[in-house]
Amino acid sequence: MPELPEVETVRMGLVPALEGHRFVHVETRRGDLRVPFPQDFAKRLIGRHVRRLLRRAKYLLAELDHGETLVIHLGMSGRMTVYAEGKERKLGQYVYKESPPEAGHGKHDHVVMETDAPARIVFTDHRRFGLMTLIDTNTIDNDKLFRGLGVEPLSDAFDAPYLFDALKGKKTPIKGALLDQRVIAGMGNIYACEALFRAGISPKRLASKVQKASIELLVHAIRRVLTQAIKAGGSSLRDYRKSDGDLGNFQHHFAVYDREGEPCPRKDCGGTVKRIVQAGRSTFYCPICQR
DNA sequence: CTTGGGTCCTGTGCGC
DNA sequence: TGCGCACAGGACCCAA
């Protein structure tokens, strides 16, 4: 589910509930996620103060005051929902609903955290591909979760020379290469398809065979599509919700993703959006204007 | 080393 | 209505 724009939207929504606040209550419910919770997970969080809430690739990082960082990944179906304690409240640009008594008691609510904002944060993930763990802040960059990650596509380090170099010698189709987190940290299936469409590049083209000029277009397309998606609050197809519970909006702006059989949105193209499977994932593209 | 396929898990939507 | 299959925003692990 959540790719970079969705995780970034969730991050922004969590900031008022977490940053500068203290965990007053944490509990894990029903079973393990993809990775078991670390020893004394809840105990190690309670009483801790969150210095900053950051994002790296598709991970949320809550930097705590005792040298550990709470790491959260939403997997395919994870959600973080913030509820205001007491009554509905506006924090930042989000309005948090009052916490209903059943919040946190759903079948797939795995973690409930309360802070002195005061707020209740519920982590829900019916597929349990998500992850929550604690990692030493000082050495987090060397952790296996983060060690190999490529550059952040919205940072200054992401430019055409970087991408060209990162794709050099890759014998895989460009679409697959874009999904490789060692190349671009945070890229996912939707935005890889959308960016390739915008850049006019066929997803089947071998990564190492994409011309420099096209790489230039692709870098701009990636930056723009991710930025626009963040502005729209991410894309809600099935499970994804913003942290206030509302839907994102960017799914209405897809050019090709999930639009098999529809006309290519490019003016005068006349092509039809096609769906193929690459490395086990759906790819949507226009065979006429993506070359 | 790189690359592709299978796998984890639950839910939903479709064709028959 | 019901059943079975395909598929879903991710990312490990392992074989070739």
How many domains, chain A? 2
Residue A280 lies in a domain: yes
pLDDT over 90 (residue A85):
no
Q: Which residue has the higher pLDDT, A131 or A92?
A: A131
Task: Tell me, yes or no, whether A103 and A220 share the same domain.
Answer: no
Task: Tell me, yes or no, whether A132 and A233 share the same domain.
Answer: no
Q: What are A59's two structure tokens?
A: 């991970």
Nucleic strand B near CB of residue A172 (< 7 Å): yes
- CATH at residue A51: 3.20.190.10
Angle at which helix A212-231 crosses helix A4-18, to 10 degrees, equals: 40
Nucleic strand B near CB of residue A266 (< 7 Å): no
Task: Please provide residue A179's backbone torsions phi and psi, each rounded to the nearest 5 degrees.
Answer: -80, -10
Q: How far is the CA of A196 from the C1' of B14 (A)?
A: 29
Residue A237 lies in a domain: yes
Of A142, A171, A193, the residue at which a domain comes to its end is: A142
Task: Tell me, yes or no, whether A248 and A169 share the same domain.
Answer: yes
Task: Tell me, yes or no, whether A177 and A216 share the same domain.
Answer: yes
Task: Please provide residue A70's backbone torsions phi and psi, each rounded to the nearest 5 degrees.
Answer: -80, 120
Residue A181 lies in a domain: yes
Task: Tell me, yes or no, whether A10 and A126 share the same domain.
Answer: yes
Task: Tell me, yes or no, whether A174 and A135 share the same domain.
Answer: no
CA atoms of A70 and A41, how far apart (whole Å): 10
At A57, the pLDDT band (50, 70, 90 cuts) reads very high
Q: What are A176's two structure tokens?
A: 């697959």
Residue A150 lies in a domain: no
Task: Tell me, yes or no, whether A192 and A263 share the same domain.
Answer: yes
Active site residue A281: yes
A238-269 per-position pLDDT tens digit: 999 999 999 999 999 999 999 999 999 999 99
Q: What range does the domain containing A248 cover?
A: 160-285
Of A142, A172, A206, the residue at which a domain comes to its end is: A142
Residue A290 lies in a domain: no
At A211, the pLDDT band (50, 70, 90 cuts) reads very high
Looking across all nucleic acid strands, the nucleotide with the smallest C1' to CA distance from residue A208 is B2
Residue A219 lies in a domain: yes
Task: Give yes or no for a contact between A216 and A201, defined as CB atoms under 8 angstroms apart.
Answer: no
Active site residue A120: no
Task: Tell me, yes or no, whether A271 and A168 share the same domain.
Answer: yes
Strands (E), chain A: 23-28, 50-56, 59-64, 68-73, 79-84, 89-91, 94-96, 109-115, 119-124, 131-136, 274-278, 281-285
Task: Give yes or no for a contact between A123 and A72, defined as CB atoms under 8 angstroms apart.
Answer: yes
Query: Residue A21's closest CA among A70, A88, A59, A55?
Result: A70
Which residue lies nearest B9, CA-to-C1' measured? Answer: A127
Task: Tell me, yes or no, whether A31 and A107 share the same domain.
Answer: yes
CA atoms of A278 and A177, how far apart (whole Å): 11
Q: For residue A91, what pLDDT is reported?
A: 79
Active site residue A87: no
Residue of A55, A58, A242, A274 marked active site: A58
SS3 A287: coil
Query: Is the whole model's pTM more than 0.95, yes or no?
Result: yes
Active site residue A265: no
Residue A80 lies in a domain: yes
Residue A95 lies in a domain: yes
Task: Give yes or no for a contact between A261 and A268, defined as CB atoms under 8 angstroms apart.
Answer: no
Task: Tell me, yes or no, whether A128 and A254 share the same domain.
Answer: no
